Amino acid sequence: MRPHKYLLFLVLAGLLLAGCGRVPLTDRQQLLLISDADLEQQAALQYTDLLSKSKVVPVTAVDEKSVVRVGSRLAKAVDEFVREKGISANGTGYKWEFTLIDDPQTANAFCMPGGKIAVYSGLLPVTKDDTGLAVVLSHEIAHALARHSNERLSQTLLVQYGGAQLSEAIKNNPEQTQQNIMNAFGIGANVGILLPYSRAQESEADRIGLALMAYAGYDPHQALDFWTRMAQLGGSGMPEILSTHPLDETRIKDIKAEIPEAMKYYRPRT
């Protein structure tokens, strides 16, 4: 091995060793190459920028109060959950924020690193009540707790590095050959690496979210009703292998199998 390549190997090995983490509850090992502090700082800026360009529902509105009420209950449960169960220190110290964006045409929600969560008002007819909101918010909280954004970016960096190395290796080939090889690499990396990881993270967020909502006092069985209603909205019709999310039937089947585990953490509200 050439000296410069040996040095590069050592640097990459160091990154891999230093950047390994484990997901709370599932204990899955993950690759984390980016500083959480840097990622959360950028996420906070992006979140503020997005809200400045969106129609945010006032904190005095009934629907916003519901989002904040359920979100605050879940956030409190997260800190208690990770401490009491000794699962992980991740998530404690997050400055959770819950915002409702007035957009009746969008049935979606998202969570940025560090616990910045937004729900679009188009999702409320599907959530219907506090328990339905708990399904959504616990799923988004689980993404933050599991540091999925960091993991996705880390995977993308590795794929980009692999692409750069491949491009260098084939630079003496005819231009059309290079293009064909790089196109094949891009499709293979997306379908074979990035999309499967994305689907795995969505399923993982479902599993962790069920436990969190149960611990906060919401019946995880209600998650089946919520995702059934979401399925009735209709999806893209895209094959699962080309999707960032599991198919509705796959998701509902998996959640049904995971409810017994979540019920171990159930603390009925008093």
Please, are residues 222 and 256 in contact by the beta-carbon 8 Å criterion?
Answer: no
Could you tell me whether strands 29-31 and 20-22 are parallel, antiparallel, or unpaired per DSSP bridges? Answer: antiparallel
Cα distance between residue 53 and residue 121, in whole Å: 16
Cα distance between residue 176 and residue 170, in whole Å: 11
**Residues tagged active-site:** 140
Six-digit token string for 86: 């000794």
Give the number of C-alpha atoms closer than 13 A to the C-alpha of residue 199, restricted to the C-beta side. Answer: 19
Six-digit token string for 38: 């840097």
Q: Is the Cα dihedral 201, 207, 208, 210 positive or negative?
A: positive
